[in-house]
Amino acid sequence: MVKFKLYSPPKEGKEIKLKDKKLIVPDNPIIPFITGDGIGPDIMKVAKTVIDSAVEKAYSGQKKIAWYEIYAGGLAQEKFNELIPEDTFEAIKHYHVALKGPLATPVGKGHRSLNVTLRIVLDLYACVRPIRYFQGAPSPVKHPERMDMVIFRENTEDVYSGIEWKQGSKEVKQVIDYLNSNMGTKIKADSGIGIKNISVEGTKRLVRKALDYAISQNRRSVTFVHKGNIMKFTEGAFRNWGYEVAKEEYGDYTITEEELFEKYSGTQPKDKIIIKDRIADAMFQLVLTRPEEYDILAMPNLNGDYFSDACVAQVGGLGLAPSSNISDDIFIFEASHGTAPKYANQNKVNPGSLILTGGMMLNTIGFKEAEDLILKGIGKTIAQKTVTYDLERQMEGAAKLSTSEFGEKIIENM
Q: How far apart are CA 120 and CA 124, in angstroms?
A: 7
Judged by CB under 6 A, does residue 347 bind ligand NAP?
no
Which entry of 7, 133, 160, 389 is annotated as an active-site residue? 160
If one asks whether residue 382 binds ligand NAP (CB under 6 A), the answer comes out as no
Residue 372 annotated in active site: no
> According to the binding rule CB under 6 A, does residue 77 interact with ligand NAP?
no
Q: How many residues bind to ligand NAP according to rule CB under 6 A?
A: 18
Total Cβ atoms within 10 A of residue 143: 11
Residues 147/133, Cβ–Cβ less than 8 Å: yes
Give the whole-angstrom CA distance, residue 332 versus residue 124.
8
Which residue, 120 or 340, is less far from ligand NAP as judged by CB? 340
Q: Is residue 104 close enough to count as binding ligand NAP by CB under 6 A?
A: yes
DSSP assignment of 209-254 equals HHHHHHHHTT-SEEEEEE-TTTSIIIIIHHHHHHHHHHHHHHTTTE
Residue 234: Cβ-neighbour burial (10 angstroms; 0-12, 13-18, 19+): buried
Q: Which residues contact 178 (CB under 8 A, 6 or more apart)?
A: none
> Contacting ligand NAP (CB under 6 A), which of 53, 88, 327, 353?
353
Per-residue binding letters, 37-66, with ligand NAP (x by CB under 6 A): --x---x-----------------------
Q: How far apart, in whole angstroms, are the C-alpha atoms of residue 348 and residue 336?
A: 18
Residue 178 among the catalytic residues: no
What type of residue is 353? S
Using rule CB under 6 A, residue 325 touches ligand NAP = no
Q: Minimum CB separation from ligand NAP for residue 348, in Å?
A: 8
Q: Which of 9, 29, 85, 102 binds ligand NAP (CB under 6 A)?
A: 102
**Rounded CA separation 380/386 (Å):** 9
Catalytic position from the list 133, 305, 348, 380 = 305
Residue 124 is a binding residue for ligand NAP (CB under 6 A): no
DSSP one-letter code for 291:
G
Instruction: Tell me if 299 contacts ligand NAP by CB under 6 A.
Output: no
Identify which of residues 119 and 276 has a Cβ nearer to ligand NAP in the complex: 119
- Cα–Cα dist 147/299, whole Å: 18
CB atoms < 10 A from the CB of 267, how many?
Answer: 8
Per CB under 6 A, does 115 bind ligand NAP?
yes
Q: Among 338, 369, 395, 400, which residue sits at the site for ligand NAP (rule: CB under 6 A)?
A: 338
For the question of residue 42 being annotated catalytic, the response is no
Q: Tell me the residue number closest to ligand NAP, measured at CB.
A: 338
Residue 105 as a binder of ligand NAP (CB under 6 A): the answer is yes
Cβ of residue 413: shortest distance to ligand NAP, in angstroms?
A: 19
Residue closest to 363 by CA, chosen among 144, 213, 220: 213
Q: How many CB atoms lie within 10 A of CB 55?
A: 25
Site for ligand NAP in 233-272 (CB under 6 A): none
Contact 377, 54 (CB under 8 A): yes
357 contributes a contact to ligand NAP by CB under 6 A:
no
Told to check if 339 binds ligand NAP by CB under 6 A, we report: yes
Is 122 one of the binding residues for ligand NAP (CB under 6 A)? no
Catalytic residue from among 48, 209, 227, 276? 227
Closest separation in Å from C-beta 309 to ligand NAP: 9
What Å distances lie between residue 204 and 22, 192, 211, 218, CA to CA? 20, 30, 10, 21
Instruction: Kindly tell me which residue out of 122, 311, 349, 398 binds ligand NAP, with binding defined by CB under 6 A.
Output: 349
Contact flag: residue 356 with ligand NAP (CB under 6 A): no
What's the Cα-to-Cα distance from 325 to each of 155, 194, 275, 333, rounded to whole Å? 8, 24, 23, 6
Residue 318 lies near ligand NAP (rule: CB under 6 A): yes
For the question of residue 37 being annotated catalytic, the response is no
Residues binding ligand NAP (CB under 6 A): 39, 43, 102-105, 115, 318-319, 334, 337-340, 349-350, 353, 390
Active-site positions read 160, 227, 281, 305
